[in-house]
Amino acid sequence: MEQGNQLTAAAVRAAFAGAADFQERHIAPQGRRGFVFFLDGLTAAASIADFLLHPAVQALHGSAADMVAQCLEGAVWAAVAQPAGDLAAATDYLLSGFAVLLFEGCGRAVAFEMKSGDKRAVAPPSVEHTVKGAKDAFTEVLRVNTTLLRRHLRSEKLQLREVIVGKTSRTRVSVAWLQGAADETVAEQMLRRLETVETDSFITPAAVEEAVSGARWSAFPLLRFTERADRFAQAMAAGKVGLLVDGLPLGYLAPVALGDFLASPEDEGVDFVTASCIRVLRYAAALLSLILPALYAAMATFHQEMIPTKLLHAIIESKAQVPFPTALEVLGLLIAFEILQEAGVHLPQSLGQAVSIIGGLVVGSAAVEARLISPAALIVVAVAGVAGYVIPGRELANALRVWRFLLAGAACAAGLFGLSVAFLALLLHLGGLNTFGLGYLRPFDRGTTGGSILRRRTVLPPHTSQGGSA
């Protein structure tokens, strides 16, 4: 063992020197000097007193090595007791809500789980609402999240492997998958990536996503997140591999395809016909959100003959006295829309709504009345923005926001020709993306997936077979 990693009381004290929440308690069972170390707040003091100090002082006897063995054999009543052979292990346990019992002159310690019960209660999802679905969302505590998963998926085949990631943050990360349903190679690949991540902290969602998906040059998400335990469990059953990170109230799922971001938890709460119709609507809304401003700019600047005569007259009338060309108008409004959206996100909810109302309605109406912008352009950008909100996966919606600008820019520069070039570039980009070896455009590949845009029936009638027409 390295000299610096030797486990002594002095070494533990030195490791946490100056930490205000570091606590030390001396005990002397059978006259042998022992130290109990714990971090206040992470541990429950009452549990330490009742289940560690009390039995330790009363029941332990013999040499220090004997006492350690007795602790591990159940003389101390804590449910979880783990040996800690060096300073690093003892430190890890302390930081994970364990109390560490160390006897003088013995190079081994025992860590008892004494985690504090102070944590956020399981609450309904704040983003992924459903009318009929479950109301338990993930919290910041990894063990609570794995418990929720176990409750939704009561199968011994559910695998949960834990990895510590981050040199400084020492974040516990659980990789979950359902044996027999998931591709084991994907799970192994995920574990391998996590084990080889070279990072100081693994706390933020971006750090997790970049580490797992490889920080690619793409706005499109390569991991899906959900705050719903039921959705996570359902994805496990469907063969996905999950990732739960301590400190993040969400679970990540891989591999993903474009269609995953257009599926909503509400789809599982309604019949498959309604869900399929709504899903088609979402695809249409996503397309509308992506190309509508570009299409309007292209048609109003280059291809007016494509606009029906009455609509063209209406647009021309609405553009009368507006000093800006259509291209500038559309790009300016797109920027204004993004600014408003960003302002709404960073402000408290009540203020955010006020900003949206003032920005969207008051400033928008005033700008139209002042002839700074035309109502047609305002309507186009607003419709594109609202259509973007139909997309259940916010990460995909954000990626489409980026590409909406690119497409609009190309359309303003070269009309439908530019729009076509930019759209082609987008398709090529999407076609080149893959997660864990699986293509991003899988939903549109009938050869491998049979097409998965529509929601399939979860239970088939007994007289039909999978793929039957009945």
Q: Report the residue from 303, 371, 394, 457 that binds another protein according to the rule CB under 8 A.
A: 303
Please tell me the distance from the alpha carbon of residue 410 to that of residue 421, in angstroms, as a whole number: 8
Q: Does 156 bind another protein (CB under 8 A)?
A: no
Burial 184-194 (b: 16+ CB within 10 A, else e): eebbebbbebb
Q: Which amino acid is at 9?
A: A
CA distances from 100 to 90, 154, 171 (A): 7, 33, 20
Distance from the Cα of residue 339 to its chain's centroid: 24
Is residue 417 a contact residue for another protein (CB under 8 A)? Answer: yes
Task: Decide: is 432 part of the binding site for another protein (CB under 8 A).
Answer: yes
**CA count, 13 A, side-chain hemisphere, 270:** 16
Q: Does residue 434 belong to the site contacting another protein (CB under 8 A)? A: no
Specify whether the CB–CB gap between 97 and 118 falls below 8 A: no
Task: Count CB neighbours of 383 within 10 A.
Answer: 16
Position among 29, 392, 415, 439 found at the interface with another protein (CB under 8 A): 415
The stretch among 81-89, 107-115, 304-312, 362-370 that binds another protein (CB under 8 A) is 304-312
* Bridge partners of residue 102, in order along the sequence: 35, 109
- Scanning 9-17, 302-310, 347-355, 391-399 for contacts with another protein by CB under 8 A, the matching segment is 302-310
Collect all residues with Cβ–Cβ distance below 8 Å to 296 and sequence separation of at least 6. Answer: 326, 330, 376, 377, 380
312 vs 347, beta carbon nearer another protein: 312
Question: At its nearest, how many Å lie between another protein and the CB of residue 425?
Answer: 5
Nearer to another protein, 109 or 298 (CB): 298
| Interaction between residue 453 and another protein (CB under 8 A) | no
Asked if 300 is part of the footprint of another protein (rule: CB under 8 A), the reply reads yes
Closest approach, Cβ 192 to another protein, in A, equals 19
Binding span for another protein by CB under 8 A among 68-76, 184-192, 239-247, 319-327 = 319-327
Query: Applying CB under 8 A, which part among 271-279, 294-302, 437-445, 461-469 lies near another protein?
Result: 294-302
Question: What is the crossing angle of helices 229-237 and 142-152, to 10°?
Answer: 60
Interface residue with another protein among 413, 430, 438, 454 (CB under 8 A) is 413
The least CB distance from residue 422 to another protein, in Å, is: 7
Under rule CB under 8 A, residue 439 binds another protein: no
Residue 140 CB-density burial (10 A; 0-12 exposed, 13-18 middle, 19+ buried): middle
Applying CB under 8 A, which of residues 240, 336, 410, 443 lies at the interface with another protein?
410
Question: Largest alpha-carbon pair distance within the chain?
Answer: 99
The contact mask relative to another protein for 124-153 (x = CB under 8 A, - = no) is ------------------------------
Residue among 277, 228, 238 nearest 455 (CA): 277
Among 103, 138, 220, 302, binds another protein (CB under 8 A): 302
Nearer to another protein, 174 or 318 (CB): 318
143 versus 303: smaller Cβ distance to another protein: 303
Q: Residue 244's beta-bridge partner residues?
A: 174, 251
Footprint of another protein on residues 365-394 (CB under 8 A)? none
- How many beta carbons lie within 10 A of that of residue 466, not counting itself? 8
Considering only 102, 422, 440, 443, the residue that binds another protein (CB under 8 A) is: 422
315 near another protein, judged by CB under 8 A? yes
Q: Which of 116/218 has CB closer to another protein?
A: 218
- Give the residue, chosen from 25, 115, 429, 457, that forms a contact with another protein under the rule CB under 8 A: 429
CB-CB contact of 71 with 82 (8 Å): no
**Cα(15)–Cα(171) distance, integer angstroms:** 18
Closest distance between another protein and the C-beta of residue 311, in Å?
10
Pairing outcome for strands 34-39 and 98-103: antiparallel
Q: Segment 195-224, which members bind another protein (CB under 8 A)?
A: 216-218
Q: Report the Cα 212 to chain-centroid distance in Å.
A: 12
Which residues make Cβ contacts (< 8 Å) with residue 102, sequence separation at least 6?
A: 7, 8, 9, 12, 34, 35, 36, 37, 90, 109
Shortest Cβ distance from residue 215 to another protein (Å)?
Answer: 9
Tell me how far, at minimum, the Cβ of 323 lies from another protein, in Å.
9
Binding site for another protein (CB under 8 A): 216-218, 300-305, 309, 312-313, 315-316, 319-320, 322, 325-327, 410, 413-415, 417-418, 421-422, 424-425, 428-429, 432
